[in-house]
Amino acid sequence: MSKPSIGFVGLGAMGFGMATHLVKEGYPVHGFDVFPASVERFKAAGGIPASSLQDSAKEKDFYVCMVASAPQVQSVLFGDDGIVAALPQNATLLLCSTVPASYAQSVAAELASVGRSDISFIDAPVSGGALRAAAGTLSIMAGAPDAALEKGRFLLQEMSDANKLYLVPGGIGAGSNMKMVHQVLAGIHILGASEAQGFAARLGLDAVKTAEAIKSSPAWTWMHENRLQRMLDEDWHPGASALTIILKDVGIITTSARQSQFPTPLCSTAEQVYLSALLQGYGPVDDSSMVRQYFAEPITKVSSTKSEEETAEALQLVLDMMEVTNLVAAAEAISFARYLKVDLKQFYTLVADAAGASRQFMTKGLEIIEGLGQDVNGETVDGATSRLEKAVQKARDLHCPLNLGNAALSVLFMAKKSGLGAEGSASVVKAFEH
């Protein structure tokens, strides 16, 4: 049985991988991109080049939109050459771009207003990077009416890992909300990786040994492990993950948080650092370059002259700073997810095996979600505050910025002032919810 033709727009790093994977799986994929070179590259990989947006959509019962932003989606779908007018009756449209949930909902409303309620629309943002896109093992968070999900399920399955297709309850917008709260962690941890390594460099610690200690400690994050080698090699041009990508995502988060009047202090702090870096020309550069916001030279040039005891003490400051900051990050993300009525068990499952993962989320995050009153290791809010405060003070003495560390410390101070000091450290989540 022949496979259906698929229309595809957005042949950037992720989109190219997704589209060419479908080609390898035997689907006739008609691809379009505003950059002719991307279309030619797609053709060379076995895809069918479309001469225009509408050409990519005509007679295509299934269509994937993977452009970069909501304004681009709007133009692609509803512009003068938009695909909505060209799609056949009862087509299925997958929006895989990262957009605000409110925008995904507005697309559904506009489809109805232009007389295209026949289109089965699925809000299906993706995560996982270009390599997983090309391998068809992405994480996909899909929200839509059941009938639409049933029609598009085979295509979602083709592009995702068997265990990473999340059918998110709540309809249109639910998938985007799930992706957004995951990106709270991703946005914080990307900067956190640079903050930890930059702090270590300012303390005179060896970069590789510091990284090895982080990897085996409760301070570990997926982002630190993933970004480390590029940070060490200063492999930033062109960016494997350009700063503008995470800046767009955290912008969606902070805008949504402001609209909801919900506090996201760590994510908002990360956004401000990213905006400052953008003004310095880092936009197209790999986001691991954020280490430059903390240390002016390659971190591999640092040669430690400390004694073994001094090294251990300095390293502990880095580990404490990162671990406690990640605890507060987990609390921020879970609290925002709860506010948005995201299914927390599904959220936990997604994050634990995705780019937002951290050991703090997998341990303390589970305690927060399950509402446990005491941490497994018995540490209190007071204890976590004391550890982070010591690291922050040392950084201040060195004139080293700890943007996230200071934001996390402020949250812990608020928790203490609310009378939570003697409670388990996971109780810091209450600072976001009271």
Distance CA 407, CA 426 (A): 17
Contact assessment for residue 334 and residue 370, using Cβ atoms and an 8 Å cutoff: no
Distance CA 329, CA 411 (A): 10
Distance CA 427, CA 372 (A): 9
Pairing of strands 126-127, 138-142: antiparallel
For residue 164, the SS3 value is strand
Distance CA 52, CA 193 (A): 42
What is the chain's alpha carbon radius of gyration, rounded to the nearest angstrom? 23
Query: To which H or E segment does residue 255 belong?
Result: helix 243-260
Active-site residue (options: 151, 179, 394, 416) = 179
Using CA atoms, how far residue 287 sits from 107, 223, 300, 374, 383, in Å, is: 31, 11, 18, 36, 32
179 is catalytic: yes
Of 121, 111, 116, which is closest to residue 152 (Cα–Cα)?
121
The DSSP code sequence of 258-304 is: HHHT---HHHHHHHHHHHHHHHTT-TTSBGGGGGGGT-SS-GGG---
Kindly tell me the burial class for residue 115, based on how many C-beta atoms sit within 10 Å of its own C-beta (0-12, 13-18, 19 or more): exposed
Which residues carry out catalysis?
Answer: 179
